Homo-oligomer: A and B are copies of this chain.
Amino acid sequence: MSGSLSPLAPKTYAEMPPVRGVRMATAAAGIKYKGRTDVLMMVFDRPATVAGVFTRSKCPSAPVDFCRANLPGGIARAVVVNSGNANAFTGRKGRESTKMTAEAAAGAVGCSEGEVFLASTGVIGEPLDATKFSGVLDSLAASGTEDFWFEAAKAIMTTDTYPKVATRTAELGGVTVRINGIAKGAGMIAPDMATMLSFVVTDADIPAPVLQSLLSAGAGPTFNSVTVDSDTSTSDTLMLFATGAAEGQAPVTADDAALDDFRAALNDLLRDLALQVVRDGEGARKMVEITVEGAENDAAAKRIALSIANSPLVKTAVAGEDANWGRIVMAVGKSGEMADRDRLAIWFGDVRVAVDGERDPAYSEEAATAVMKRQDIPVRVEIGLGTGKATVWTCDLTKEYVEINGDYRS
């Protein structure tokens, strides 16, 4: 945990009940600092199915490569997450390190290396000494408990100012199943590399291809719709595991209507975690929800929304509580997507500030400024060309962001 609690932190945390079929434990392996919890191990005593969504970076970390290679197997028995070192841009040594960690984990739980999944977050470019795991994974595998979600969320924090947890239930195949998730944030701080990690587990029984279909679809409007500063980590990892430990559930065979309730609960949980991540953005004091409607199509709407969300001028205006809609127009214009200046309309909250390519004749600076003074600020842009729609979330750009990221690596 670094710095003081984000002003956007949740007032209360979800009570995290166990999810049948998964046990967790943490340890201080001394990856980078002494005496600090830096390893989380999740163990599935019976094989779980697995799905994953990873960074789009062309220079991914060694653990991302490792997970991608194991994903087609569809089976997970163990997950090992470490902080303090991202094992990114570590070349051949990085691959040796993931192999060694996977061997140790597989030995500890009695499975194959292909059933192990890994994630690392921390400093980049430093070789990760995987021998440090050897001594701890056996005892972690043996000592894990089901009632450890909040501790697990705390263990994977690096620059986060609060742990991120969420839980949901859903009706599936005649029974009630549970979905729990933890995440660590898009906060980025020297000496650490940016990384968003999230691990979600359900006790539902869902085949891996269906699980992947659910997760791939769910990530788009949630984790892939939040941005802190437009910078993409080499290590972003979102994984979903299904233990199948909910007894009596009717089999699932395809991503169809039988999954509607589960899908809704999962998407709601993913959105919850993603918003917790953006609310913990470095230096963030305000959360901005940007909705673009009337674009050529949904993909165009999302590109316009992200152009707004990633604009330093928009984000500094939000920090300054300035209803500067000209910068929204600028960001729409630079997105490269179809837009007709003279059809644009822009709202801050319920206050329409611009319409038909001009300032709203009824525009009230006072009313717009009142919206900007809120902690959560909704921005809506109507493009007026089609039916494409998207919502993304970001935070403001503050001096604290510059301070945090401009500090010399200690």
Contact = CB atoms under 8 A, between A and B. Distances in A.
A357 B325 CA distance: 43
A370 to B, nearest CB: 13
A124 B329 contact: yes
Interface-centre pick from A57, A90, A339 (highest chain B CB count, 10 A): A57
A129 interface: no
B232 A313 contact: no
A125 B329 CA distance: 10
Interface string A336-365: 111101101000000000101111000000
A354 B89 CA distance: 9
A320 B327 CA distance: 27
Given A126-B359, A234-B333, A312-B401, 13 more contacts: A57-B333, A89-B357, A90-B358, A124-B329, A125-B326, A194-B313, A230-B310, A231-B330, A231-B331, A233-B330, A322-B409, A398-B402, A399-B406
Contact of A358 (B91, B319, B322, B408): B91
Contacts of A15: none
Given A58-B336, A234-B329, A399-B399, A409 B324 contact: yes
Interface of A: 55-60, 88-93, 123-126, 188, 190, 193-194, 229-234, 310-313, 316-317, 319-322, 324-327, 329-339, 341-342, 344, 354, 356-359, 397-399, 401-403, 405-409
A408 B322 contact: yes
B231 A338 contact: no
Given A59-B339, A325-B125, A335-B58, A316 B406 contact: yes
A316 B401 CA distance: 9
Closest 3 CB pairs of A and B: A59-B333, A124-B326, A57-B333
